[in-house]
């Protein structure tokens, strides 16, 4: 390990060897959106499969969550792992050598591009419990029940593909933006249009010593700044998207560590095993191309009369609006007030739900506490978490459904909130609409 790699290691960063599709692979067919998107819209994933056809694609290496409840779960997992082995054997993926990847992502929703750096984080510096004080920290509560199917995939997989997006608190724009300003001096890796109108993406390799040195110095300065504000528990990296995927990587790593007990090579393996690290994309929370949106809720098979009656018994005040747009607008207008206000969309009915003087710190906590308690007494009702107002309005308007629209999240106080209060209520925010999510492009080996 070089001195620079040791300095990165002290920051919880690992310089990985990243794999990309080989020359001649159709990147537009290869890249697909994060598996936790469109979780109630199978038609999206069916459309993706139709676009891909028989071409090599990351679609065959992931498990879209809309299929998690299907009976063919085990065979689907075996097919994913088999496809990974096949792609490696046939040279579909090629190694780039050690380094990072600078990414520019453009979407139809933002004027400015979103900038990121693909690197690996050390899972030894990450704890996903709600009271975590680790250098790499979750921003929302982890639902441990969601980990087993993800763990089943990772346990037998030779590869990982990242949709995890991790944030740094960098108002001076000292980490990623200087690299982007020098991108003309870097080797371009890809530049293509993403499927289904999701925008475009291009990338450059970061491997030269001066670029790596500047990046390391900038991260060291951010860590020192965090230590000054929180000496006992500095926070350098906050998991903005893909909390459960990173928690899965951590859980599987802990299993692997336990299996190495007594192995003559235990110390060496614990130090260098590729499963110790997880590939992520690093973003600056102050990036103008990085929007923060709330994550909405949709209830299925719900009796609206009973639901609203119980809301009122819990202290909520219900207001009726003429349409979804006006309900959403009122919700956003009062987002920074002391009350917590939500909008709802049902079949032919729209309005707002207001909790005055709530006990929870954040609006997402107020509604989630009510839902968690209420759903225990209504097992016939299903809940899903939706990215995007359009999807919410469409699903909420269907017979038997009800959509709950949450107010926006203030990202300026984001890191301070995580340091002060720990993980936020689960499914509090989303970084962009569904088409803006990370697409699977890069891969990394996680086996020896």
Q: What is the chain's mean pLDDT, rounded? A: 94
Helix pair angle (3-10, 209-229), 10° resolution: 30
Residue % of the chain over a pLDDT of 90 = 82
Amino acid 127: pLDDT: 95
Q: CA separation (Å) from 211 to 62, 99, 121, 176, 177?
A: 32, 10, 18, 10, 12
Q: CATH number of the domain at 293-408, out of 3.40.50, 3.30.1760, 1.10.3210, 1.20.1070?
A: 3.30.1760
Q: What is the largest CA-CA distance in the chain?
A: 70
Q: Which of these ranges, 64-78, 131-145, 304-318, has the smallest mean pLDDT? A: 131-145
Amino acid 424: pLDDT: 80
Residue % of the chain over a pLDDT of 70 = 100
Amino acid 360: pLDDT: 80
Q: CA separation (Å) from 65 to 125, 329, 375?
A: 28, 30, 21
Amino acid 142: pLDDT: 82
Confidence check: pLDDT of 415 > 90: no
Residue 283's pLDDT band, with cuts at 50, 70 and 90, is very high
Phi, psi torsion values for 49, nearest 5 degrees: -60, -35
Amino acid 318: pLDDT: 97
Q: CA separation (Å) from 349 to 81, 212, 297, 316, 378?
A: 46, 55, 16, 17, 22
Amino acid 224: pLDDT: 97
User: Where in the sequence of the chain do the CATH 3.30.1760 domains occur?
Assistant: 293-408
Residue 320's pLDDT band, with cuts at 50, 70 and 90, is very high
SS3 335: coil
**Contact between residue 435 and residue 33 where contact means Cβ atoms under 8 Å apart:** yes
Model confidence pLDDT, tens digit, residues 196-222: 999 999 999 999 999 999 999 999 999
Nearest to 414 by CA among 428, 432, 398: 428
**Contact between residue 27 and residue 21 where contact means Cβ atoms under 8 Å apart:** yes
Amino acid 107: pLDDT: 96
Model confidence pLDDT, tens digit, residues 92-149: 999 999 999 999 999 999 999 999 999 999 999 999 987 889 999 998 878 888 899 8
- Residues 54-66, mean pLDDT to the nearest whole number: 97
Amino acid 417: pLDDT: 78
Confidence check: pLDDT of 184 > 80: yes
Full-model pTM:
0.84
- In whole angstroms, what is the distance from residue 95 CA to residue 204 CA? 14
- In whole angstroms, what is the distance from residue 123 CA to residue 256 CA? 12
Q: What is the chain's Cα-based Rg?
A: 22
Residue 152's pLDDT band, with cuts at 50, 70 and 90, is very high
Residues 6+ apart with CB under 8 A from 271: none
Model confidence pLDDT, tens digit, residues 346-398: 999 999 999 999 988 788 889 999 999 999 999 999 999 987 788 899 999 99
Q: How many residues does the chain have?
A: 448
b/e burial code for range 202-230 (CB count within 10 A of at least 16 → b): bbbbbbeeebbebbbebbeebbeebeeee
Residue 123, sorted as left (phi over 0), alpha (psi -120 to 50) or beta, turns out to be: alpha
Model confidence pLDDT, tens digit, residues 10-48: 999 999 999 999 999 999 999 999 999 999 899 999 999
Nearest to 285 by CA among 189, 170, 202, 366: 170
**Contact between residue 56 and residue 20 where contact means Cβ atoms under 8 Å apart:** no
Nearest to 187 by CA among 217, 211, 216: 211
- In whole angstroms, what is the distance from residue 334 CA to residue 355 CA? 12
DSSP for 87-130, please give it.
Answer: HHHTTSEEEEEE-EEEEEEE-SS-SSPEEEEEEEEEGGGB--ST
- Residues 159-169, mean pLDDT to the nearest whole number: 97
- In whole angstroms, what is the distance from residue 112 CA to residue 320 CA? 37
Within 32-78, strands assigned E span: 32-33
Confidence check: pLDDT of 292 > 90: no
Confidence check: pLDDT of 414 > 90: no
DSSP 408: P
SS3 308: helix
Phi, psi torsion values for 4, nearest 5 degrees: -65, -40
Nearest to 167 by CA among 442, 441, 409: 409
Nearest to 36 by CA among 283, 384, 294: 384
């Amino acid at each position: 390990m070089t001195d620079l790699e040791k300095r990165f290691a002290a920051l919880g960063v690992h310089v990985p060897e990243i794999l990309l599709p080989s020359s001649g692979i159709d990147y537009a067919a290869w890249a697909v959106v994060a598996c936790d998107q469109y979780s109630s819209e199978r038609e999206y994933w069916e459309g993706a499969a139709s676009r891909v056809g028989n071409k090599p694609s990351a679609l065959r290496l992931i498990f879209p969550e809309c299929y998690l409840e299907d009976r063919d779960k085990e065979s689907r997992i075996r097919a994913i792992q088999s496809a990974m082995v096949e792609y490696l054997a046939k040279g579909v993926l090629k190694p780039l050598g050690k380094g990072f990847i600078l990414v520019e992502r453009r979407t139809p929703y933002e004027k400015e591009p979103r900038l990121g750096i693909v690197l690996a984080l050390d899972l030894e510096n990450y704890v996903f419990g709600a009271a975590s004080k680790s250098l790499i920290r979750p921003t929302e509560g982890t639902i441990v029940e969601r980990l087993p199917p993800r763990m089943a995939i990772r346990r037998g997989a030779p590869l990982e593909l990242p949709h995890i997006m991790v944030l740094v608190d960098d108002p001076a724009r000292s980490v990623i933006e200087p690299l982007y300003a020098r991108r003309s001096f870097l080797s371009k890796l890809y530049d293509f249009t993403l499927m289904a109108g999701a925008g475009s993406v291009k990338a450059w390799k970061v491997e030269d010593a001066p670029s790596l040195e500047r990046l390391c110095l900038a991260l060291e300065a951010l860590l020192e700044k965090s230590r000054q504000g929180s000496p006992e528990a500095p926070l350098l990296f906050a998991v903005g998207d893909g909390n459960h995927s990173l928690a899965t990587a951590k859980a599987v790593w802990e299993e692997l560590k336990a299996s190495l007990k007594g192995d003559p090579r235990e110390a060496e393996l614990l130090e260098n095993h590729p499963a110790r690290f997880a590939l992520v994309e690093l973003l600056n929370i102050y990036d103008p191309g990085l929007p923060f949106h709330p994550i909405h809720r949709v209830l299925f098979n719900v009796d609206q009369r009973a639901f609203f009656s119980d809301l009122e018994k819990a202290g909520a005040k219900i207001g009726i609006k003429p349409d979804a747009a006006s309900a959403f607008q009122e919700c956003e207008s009062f987002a920074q007030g002391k009350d917590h206000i939500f909008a709802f969309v049902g079949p032919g009915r729209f309005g707002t739900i207001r909790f005055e003087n709530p006990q929870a710190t954040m609006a997402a906590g107020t509604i989630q506490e009510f839902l968690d308690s209420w759903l225990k007494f209504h097992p016939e009702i299903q809940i899903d978490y939706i990215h995007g107002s359009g999807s919410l309005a469409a699903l909420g308007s269907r017979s038997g459904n009800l959509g709950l629209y949450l107010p926006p999240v203030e990202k300026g106080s984001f890191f301070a909130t995580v340091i002060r209060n720990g993980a936020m209520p689960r499914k509090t925010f989303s970084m962009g609409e569904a088409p803006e999510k990370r697409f699977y492009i890069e891969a990394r080996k996680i086996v020896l």
